[in-house]
Amino acid sequence: MQARTLTALRSLAVTGPLLVVLGACSGDRPGDLSRNMQADENALLPATSQIIISNAHLLDGSGTDIESGFLLISNGRIAEISSTPIVAEGALVIDASGKTVMPGYIEAHRHIIEGAPAEWMADKAQSEMQAFLEAGFTTVFSAGDPQTEILELRRRTAAGEIAGPRIIAAGRAPLAVSAAPGGEDDPARTDVSRPPLRPTVAAMPVSDEATEQRVTAISDAGFDAVKTVMVTTPEGPEIRTLGLIAQKAKALGLPTVTHAVTVQDTLAAVAAGGVATLVHTPHIGQLTAEEVRLIADSGIPITSTLGIFVPFFSDSNAPIFRDGEAFPWDTISSAGQGPVNARLLWEAGVVYGFGTDTRFAPSLTLEHELKSLHLVFSERDILKIMGENAAINIRMQDRIGSLRPGMYADLVLLEGNPLEDLYDLLQVTMVFKEGKIMVDKR
C-alpha cells in the first residue's frame, strides 16, 4: 500500500443536516497524486476518432477473456472486439502487448466534496477529479454531497470543462426527524446503528406531504437518484416513509438508494419495497440463511464498502480510521463480519458491486477495498464486482462495466494481468472515457 503520512491522510469532519445524518457515510478526501499533464483536456482525442487497441488481454469479469485481442473504438463506443486483427482506415493503433484492457472502474459509493464546498470547487476540484482518472475510475456515484456544488461539478465534467470521471449524483431525503449526534466526529465512530447507541424510542415522523415535496425537490434539482438512511426506531416511521419515498421517486423516474449497515436495518429496507440499491454490506450482525434468502429474493443489488472498518496505517505504523484519527477498536468486528455476510449474499445470487465510502486518494482506497474483498472473493469474482456488478448498482449496465460492442469506450489499460496478481489493478497505464484518452502514462 502506498505510504501516506497521518497529516496527508487526515480529512475534515463530515457535516450535514441532522435530519439526514444517520449512520456511517463519509466525506471523500483524495490525497495528493502526481498528475499526468498529458491528460489535460487540450490533449484529448476527439470522441469521434477511431482507435484500435491491439494485442491486449481483453478482460471484464463477465465472460470476455481474450488472451491476445483487438478492440476498435469508434464515436466514443466500443465498435468491435476480436481475437484477430481489426482494420480501420485512419485509426490510431495502440500496441498493448503484455497489457490488459478492462472496463473503466466504477466507484459506486463516494462522497466527493469536503470542507467548504465553494473553496473545494475553486481550489481542489480539478486535481481531485484527475486523481480519480489516474486511478482508473471513469464513473463515480456521489452518495450525498452539497447540492449546488455536486451538480455543478457533474456539469463541468460532463462538458469537459474539468477532466474527470462521469458523476452520478444523489440527493438526500430523510426517513424521520433525527436527533443524530452532531460534532466533528466521523459518523461511523458514533454510528447510531451500532449498539449501545441504537434509538430506544420512536423517531418523530416527517409528514407525507413534506416527504413528497422533498423527493420532488430532488427531482427538480436534477439529481440522478434519491439517497436515504435506514436506522429503524421502535414502532418508528422509517419503513413506511422509505416506501413512500421509493414510490414517489419511481413516479418521477428516479431510483432510491438506501444506507443500511445492520442486518436489522437491511431487512427493514427490503421490507419497505422499491429500493433500487443497498449502498453498504450489512456489517453489524450475522445473517442467517433465511435472512440471506430474503435479501436475495428482493433482487436488490448491494455495494461493498468493506474497507471502512479495516485500519489504514500511518507512516509510524499507527492504526488509523478513515478520518485520519486513531482507529476505534470497538468497531473492528465489522471488518470481519462484513466480508462474511458479503460472501453469503454472493452465494445466494445477490448482485454485489464495488464501492468504498472512504476519504482518501482514489488509488489508496481502491487498494484498501481490494484487500477486504480478497478475503472472501477470487480475482475473477472481484473483476465482476468492479465491472458489470458495479454498473448494475448504479443502473448503467447497458452503457458501462463490460467489454461489448455498443458500450461506452470507458477503458483502462493495465500493466500485467489481475487474474494472476489482483493488485495489477493498480498498475494503470492509460484511461479512456467515451473514447477519449484521459490518462496516458506510457
CA 353 and chain centroid, separation: 8
Which of 360-399 are b and which e, b meaning 16 or more Cβ less than 10 Å from the residue's Cβ? bbbbbbbbbbbebbbebbebebbbbbbbbbbbbbbbbbeb
- The torsion angle over the Cα atoms of residues 308, 227, 107 and 396, rounded to 10 degrees, is 150
How far is 390 from 277, CA to CA, in rounded Å? 11
Rounded CA separation 170/255 (Å): 9
In angstroms, rounded to a whole number, what is the distance separating the alpha carbons of residues 84 and 379?
26
- Enumerate the domain spans of the chain: 6-34+104-404
Q: Which amino acid is at 435?
A: G
CB 263 within 8 A of CB 321: no
pLDDT digits (tens, 9 = 90+) for 302-354: 999 999 999 999 999 999 999 899 999 999 999 999 999 999 999 999 999 99
- Range in 7-21, 55-69, 183-197, 244-258 the model is least confident about: 7-21
Residue 142's H or E segment, with its range, is strand 137-142
Checking if the pLDDT of 46 tops 90, the result is no
Residue 80 has pLDDT above 90, yes or no: yes
Given this model, what pLDDT does residue 182 score?
46
> What is the helix (H) or strand (E) element at residue 54, kind and residue range?
strand 51-59
Distance CA 242, CA 230 (A): 8
Distances, alpha carbon 294 to alpha carbons 182, 272, 305, 348, in Å: 34, 13, 21, 10
For residue range 166-201, what is the model confidence (pLDDT) as tens digits?
999 999 999 999 755 445 578 898 899 999 999 999
pLDDT in the model for residue 42: 38
Looking at residue 49, what is its pLDDT? 84
Give strand pairing partners of 320. 312, 326
Residue 45: pLDDT above 60? no
pLDDT exceeds 60 at position 266: yes
The answer to whether residue 359 scores a pLDDT higher than 90 is: no
Query: Has residue 23 got a pLDDT over 70?
Result: no
CA separation (Å) from 89 to 80, 93, 334? 14, 10, 55
Three-state secondary structure call for residue 257:
strand
Per-residue model confidence (pLDDT) at position 24? 35
Q: With beta carbons less than 8 A apart as the criterion, state whether 280 and 305 touch.
A: yes
Q: How far is 403 from 413, CA to CA, in rounded Å?
A: 13
- Note the pLDDT of residue 14: 32
Can you tell me the distance from the alpha carbon of 41 to that of 433, in angstroms, rounded to the nearest whole number?
12
Architecture of domain 6-34+104-404: Alpha-Beta Barrel (3.20)
Q: What percent of the chain has pLDDT over 90?
A: 84
The predicted pLDDT at position 419 comes to 97
Report which of 342, 380, 382 is spatially closest to residue 366, judged by C-alpha positions. Answer: 382
